């Protein structure tokens, strides 16, 4: 009877509502909503409580396919207690969870789960920044706290006050009566100001809705500068204040497929900052961790990412190699050279170890360099042979082919400081690979063994010198010729001085 009353206004049975599909959830659904990125995606967040009181949260992604609902992704999270706030990131790849005991957690679609972090209060509201790098939590009393995607707290303060920045911003002290915060929302607007400069200025506004009023708007600025609050900007702020570990941890959360430019900019900033400082085990670990975001990512990188950013990251790895060599971290530099597989890096290790007397590692590096040179030369000769053989006729005798192969032979040993044929230079700035940064009091490196005397010279400029010949000496003029030249030189000097004096008198 109730159903007929609801549908009584419909003109025909064809216009009556019908179920097109349905999906039975296994647990109690907390949040169910359509995706804002793809119209055929539904996100469900379910809560399960076991007989022992264990709380499990399940994040599912359901796709609509041919009038059917199919689950494409499921992530189960074991929580310490009941959740009170659940918020999905703007790009819908991260899920923020807050529990009633103040525990905070962030999980992403790559099955990476952060560690639990305790907040100073139990949040009732949470809102992601539009740039997907910050999240704001608050309670009904108006206490607010900012976190990055690694759940590292950020300090804040009002620009009009001289108070010390703190991790909690309390708005209740500005009200006569205790307020009740109902909702928080971000709104970012970029407007170009022609009066100041041609660059767009980005303002981050936060709308606060209190019960029975008022409505407040806060403007979030980053250390007095107007810029987008992206991950690379926060990394720069971390480095400016000395929080290098937080900057590296934030770098590891950036997705190369979605934000490749931001990831590369953050990586370059961190590596440049750490290489300028003296090397110690802590900074060495941070450099390895930072470069590992590309060489050892959480998920495999796509071919387009490797093609676009591979050369730039490779240059940063070379800088790290020379930084290790400069501070005599030889074994790790050797392992890094094996990963990079470049001839000049092994020759640098060979020359350096030879100068300090480490013959074993010098020999190993030289053998590795010869192996790389031989492989590159054999590959190039193989290509040339294949192209030339295609021009021959099919009746070439086996003897001629054997003679052609015998002419190739084994390539000669590499001359010190000589490089194999390299590809065409890339149109970008490469870091310096010279050893000018070595401390002179520790070691002095020489690229190439130059002859100590003229007796060791066996050839020069293409003219051969007999073995039994005496070394060349500086030619000397006869004494009479020298005296005449000296007198002539003195007469010229006197004439010039006289002319200069006459010019001075004329003035």
The reply to whether 149 and 255 lie within a common domain is: no
Render pLDDT for 124-156 as a digit per residue (tens, 0 to 9). 999 999 888 899 999 999 999 999 999 999 988
Q: Position of tokens 């005991």?
A: 101
Render pLDDT for 195-218 as a digit per residue (tens, 0 to 9). 444 444 556 889 999 998 889 998
Q: Check residue 478 and give its pLDDT.
A: 55
Q: How confident is the model at residue 23 (pLDDT cuts 50, 70, 90)?
A: confident
The reply to whether 346 and 359 lie within a common domain is: yes
Greatest CA separation for the chain: 137
Task: Tell me whether residue 255 is exposed, middle or buried, using C-beta atoms within 10 angstroms of its C-beta: 0 to 12, 13 to 18, 19 or more.
Answer: buried
Render pLDDT for 39-54 as a digit per residue (tens, 0 to 9). 899 999 999 999 988 9
Residue 282 has pLDDT above 70, yes or no: yes
Render pLDDT for 402-424 as a digit per residue (tens, 0 to 9). 433 333 333 343 444 444 444 44
* Helix H or strand E segment including 378: helix 359-389
Query: Is residue 255 in a domain?
Result: yes
Mean per-residue pLDDT for 376-381?
Answer: 64
Render pLDDT for 157-185 as a digit per residue (tens, 0 to 9). 888 877 788 899 999 888 888 889 999 99
**Torsion on CA atoms 339, 344, 347, 351, rounded to nearest 10:** -120
Residue 268 has pLDDT above 90, yes or no: yes
The reply to whether 218 and 250 lie within a common domain is: no
Mean per-residue pLDDT for 263-268?
Answer: 96
Query: Is residue 134 in a domain?
Result: yes
The reply to whether 199 and 259 lie within a common domain is: no
Of the residues 182, 197, 229, which one is the last residue of a structural domain? 229
The reply to whether 222 and 354 lie within a common domain is: no
Residue 316 has pLDDT above 50, yes or no: yes
Task: Tell me whether residue 133 is exposed, middle or buried, using C-beta atoms within 10 angstroms of its C-beta: 0 to 12, 13 to 18, 19 or more.
Answer: buried
* Cβ-based neighbours of 337, under 8 Å, separated by 6 or more: 321, 345, 346, 349, 365, 368
Q: Please tell me which residue, 428 or 69, carries the higher pLDDT value.
A: 69
pTM: 0.69
Q: Give strand pairing partners of 191.
A: 201
Minimum mean pLDDT range among 92-96, 155-159, 292-296, 389-393? 389-393
Residue 93 has pLDDT above 50, yes or no: yes
Render pLDDT for 436-460 as a digit per residue (tens, 0 to 9). 333 333 322 222 333 333 333 333 3
Query: Is residue 103 in a domain?
Result: no
Query: Is residue 168 in a domain?
Result: yes
Mean per-residue pLDDT for 353-380?
Answer: 86
Q: Please tell me which residue, 382 or 75, carries the higher pLDDT value.
A: 75
**Rounded CA separation 89/135 (Å):** 9
Q: Please tell me which residue, 335 or 410, carries the higher pLDDT value.
A: 335
**For the chain, the helix, strand and coil percentages under 3-state DSSP, each to the nearest 5:** 35, 25, 40
Q: Position of tokens 């019908």?
A: 18
Of the residues 196, 229, 262, which one is the last residue of a structural domain? 229
Pairing of the two strands 143-148 and 153-154: antiparallel
Domain hosting residue 200, numbered range? 122-229
Of the residues 207, 229, 251, which one is the last residue of a structural domain? 229
* Axis-axis angle for helices 330-340, 359-389 (nearest 10): 10
The reply to whether 278 and 334 lie within a common domain is: yes
Domain with residue 346: its CATH number is 1.25.40
Residue 270 has pLDDT above 50, yes or no: yes
The reply to whether 273 and 151 lie within a common domain is: no
The reply to whether 205 and 312 lie within a common domain is: no
The reply to whether 378 and 273 lie within a common domain is: yes
Residue 123 has pLDDT above 90, yes or no: yes
Q: How confident is the model at residue 484 (pLDDT cuts 50, 70, 90)?
A: low
Query: Is residue 20 in a domain?
Result: no
Q: Check residue 353 and give its pLDDT.
A: 93
Please tell me the total count of domains within the chain.
2
* Axis-axis angle for helices 231-240, 260-275 (nearest 10): 10
The reply to whether 257 and 303 lie within a common domain is: yes
Minimum mean pLDDT range among 20-34, 265-279, 340-354? 20-34
Average pLDDT, the chain: 76
Q: How confident is the model at residue 320 (pLDDT cuts 50, 70, 90)?
A: very high
Q: Check residue 409 and give its pLDDT.
A: 39
Q: Check residue 189 and give its pLDDT.
A: 55
Query: Is residue 507 in a domain?
Result: no
Query: Is residue 373 in a domain?
Result: yes
Query: Is residue 174 in a domain?
Result: yes
The reply to whether 212 and 332 lie within a common domain is: no
Residue 19 has pLDDT above 90, yes or no: no
The reply to whether 235 and 372 lie within a common domain is: yes
């Amino acid at each position: 009877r109730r159903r007929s009353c609801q549908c009584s206004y419909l003109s025909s049975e064809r216009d009556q509502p019908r179920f097109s599909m349905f999906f039975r959830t296994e647990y109690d659904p907390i949040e169910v909503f359509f995706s804002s990125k793809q119209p055929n995606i539904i996100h469900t967040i379910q809560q399960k409580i076991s007989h022992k009181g264990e709380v499990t949260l399940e994040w599912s992604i359901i796709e609509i396919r041919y009038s059917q609902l199919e689950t494409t992704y499921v992530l189960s999270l074991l929580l310490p207690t009941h959740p009170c706030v659940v918020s999905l990131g703007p790009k819908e790849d991260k899920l923020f969870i807050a529990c009633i005991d103040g525990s905070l957690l962030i999980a992403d679609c790559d099955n990476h789960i952060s560690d639990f972090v305790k907040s100073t209060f139990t949040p009732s509201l949470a809102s992601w920044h539009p740039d997907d790098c910050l999240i704001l939590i608050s309670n009904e009393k108006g206490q607010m706290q900012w976190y990055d995607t690694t759940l590292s707290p950020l300090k804040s303060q009002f620009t009009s006050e001289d108070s010390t920045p703190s991790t909690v911003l309390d708005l209740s002290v500005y009200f006569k009566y205790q307020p009740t915060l109902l909702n928080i929302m971000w709104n970012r607007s970029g407007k170009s100001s022609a009066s100041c400069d041609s660059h767009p200025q980005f303002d981050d506004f936060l709308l606060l809705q209190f019960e029975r009023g008022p409505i407040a708007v806060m403007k979030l600025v980053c250390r007095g500068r107007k810029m987008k609050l992206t991950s690379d900007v926060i990394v720069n702020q971390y480095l400016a204040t000395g929080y290098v570990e937080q900057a590296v941890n934030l770098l590891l959360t950036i997705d190369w497929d979605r934000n490749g430019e931001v990831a590369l900019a953050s990586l370059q900033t961190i590596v440049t900052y750490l290489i300028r400082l003296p090397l110690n085990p802590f900074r060495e670990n941070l450099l390895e961790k930072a470069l590992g975001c590309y060489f050892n990512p959480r998920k495999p990188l796509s071919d387009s990412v490797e093609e676009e950013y591979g050369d730039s990251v490779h240059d940063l790895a070379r800088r790290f190699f020379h930084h290790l060599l400069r501070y005599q971290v030889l074994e790790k530099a050797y392992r890094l050279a094996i990963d990079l597989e470049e001839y000049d890096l092994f020759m640098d290790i060979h020359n350096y170890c030879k100068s300090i007397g480490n013959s074993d590692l010098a020999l190993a590096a030289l053998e590795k360099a010869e192996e790389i040179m031989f492989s590159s030369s054999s590959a190039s000769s193989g290509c040339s042979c294949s192209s030339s053989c295609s021009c021959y006729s099919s009746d070439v005798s086996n003897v001629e082919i054997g003679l052609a192969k015998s002419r190739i032979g084994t390539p000669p040993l590499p001359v010190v400081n000589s490089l194999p044929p390299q590809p065409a230079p890339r149109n970008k700035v490469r870091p310096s690979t010279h050893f000018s940064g070595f401390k002179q009091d520790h070691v002095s490196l020489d690229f190439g063994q130059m002859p100590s005397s003229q007796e060791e010279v066996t050839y020069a400029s293409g003219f051969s010198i007999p073995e039994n010949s005496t070394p060349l000496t500086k030619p000397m003029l006869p004494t009479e010729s020298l005296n005449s030249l000296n007198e002539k030189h003195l007469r010229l000097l006197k004439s010039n001085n006289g002319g200069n004096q006459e010019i001075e008198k004329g003035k």
